[in-house]
Structure 1
Amino acid sequence: MDVLHRVADLATVANPIYFQEDDRLAFTASRIIEKGWVTANALEDWMGRFIKPEGPEPDDTIRLTNLEHFLRSLYFLLKWKQVDSGLIEKVDERLRALSWYVQANVL
């Protein structure tokens, strides 16, 4: 779980993340999930960490963008690897909760 918590920390930094870093972080998380090294409850708690940042601009815009990119990468890795669809749905729900487009009823 420590690795997943560190991944969550890195996915929400207030600096733009490096080129394709969101993919590398998502790959790490997806492998841990795929191998079954964490319980469903632990994953639920971990997913609960991904909330919309509330704080000073522009830091929170950067955090939100990093988080959305990470979750999109994780979503597709889990989908492509056909990992538990319940978890894929949770990632989808979290992405929708973060999306400005969904909140503004554009999508």
Structure 2
Amino acid sequence: MAEIDFIKKNAKKMSNQELLYYLPNQTVKTKHTLSSLRTLKHKLGITGGKKTNKGRAYNDFELRIIKSPKYTNKQASLHIGRTPNAIGKKRAKLREEGIIKW
């Protein structure tokens, strides 16, 4: 978490290569919203991907960064997705409230 907070504070000042250097090479659970992570993704030069649920922000996200020394920064993979557990909890809550039936 400390690395993510550090990156968020300094991301605008850093170059893409510096950002990649600071990003951890493993899966990190984070509470930050999707929009800020998407900003980080764009800052890294890795764009694309579709918005989830009309841009609504959820609590639990998983930030998975895979980098290799032989790759350039544009080839590093930054995967942002909701954890399966978070999806299950969210859907269970919506089912109880009668908003969704499935």
- TM-score, normalization: structure 1? 0.33
The structure that is strand-richer by fraction is 2
Which of the pair has the greater relative contact order for Cα pairs under 8 Å at 6+ separation? 1
TM-score by length of 2: 0.34
Of the two, which has the highest radius of gyration?
Answer: 2
